[in-house]
């Protein structure tokens, strides 16, 4: 006669062997459904991409201000920090790569910033009734 312990152990093993494939399939199905509704987002990659975009934006604004209004018109410390961090994060500290990238993108970025600058100046002129110095 089998002991209760051996019967329980045998039944538990049989039950586990029967349930495991079904549970695995159910878990996989639940995982698939979950990913459809809530796709996995690599938060680290998303944050890095967002940070690089912010650094690039700060860099181009600084570059535009310095080019257009001179060094006196720029927040020198913040601009220097943005430049150094962008060089490190995007170009692994390689100055020559940064300069090559800058040369390729400068005209387009400055044109976009100029349009925004002009639109802001025109908006301020309309609000205050004043005309820009350039007129």
Contact 74, 66 (CB under 8 A): yes
Contact 106, 63 (CB under 8 A): yes
What is the pLDDT tens value at each position of the chain, 135 positions in all? 443 333 333 433 433 444 344 444 444 554 555 556 555 655 567 777 888 999 999 999 999 989 988 887 667 788 899 999 999 999 999 999 999 999 999 999 999 999 988 888 887 655 655 545 544
Q: How far is CA 84 from CA 34, 41, 132, in A?
A: 41, 29, 34
């Amino acid at each position: 006669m089998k002991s209760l312990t051996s019967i329980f152990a045998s039944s538990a093993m049989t039950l586990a062997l029967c349930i495991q494939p079904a549970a695995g399939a159910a878990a996989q199905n639940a995982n698939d459904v979950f990913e459809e509704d809530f796709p996995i987002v690599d938060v680290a990659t998303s944050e890095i991409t967002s940070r690089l975009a912010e650094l690039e934006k700060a860099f181009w604004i600084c570059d535009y201000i310095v080019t257009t209004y001179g060094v006196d018109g720029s927040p020198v410390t913040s601009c220097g920090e943005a430049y150094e961090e962008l060089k490190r994060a995007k170009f692994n500290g390689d100055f020559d790569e940064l300069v090559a990238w800058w040369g390729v993108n400068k005209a387009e970025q400055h044109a976009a910033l100029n349009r925004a600058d002009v639109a802001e100046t025109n908006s301020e002129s309309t609000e205050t009734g004043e005309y820009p110095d350039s007129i």
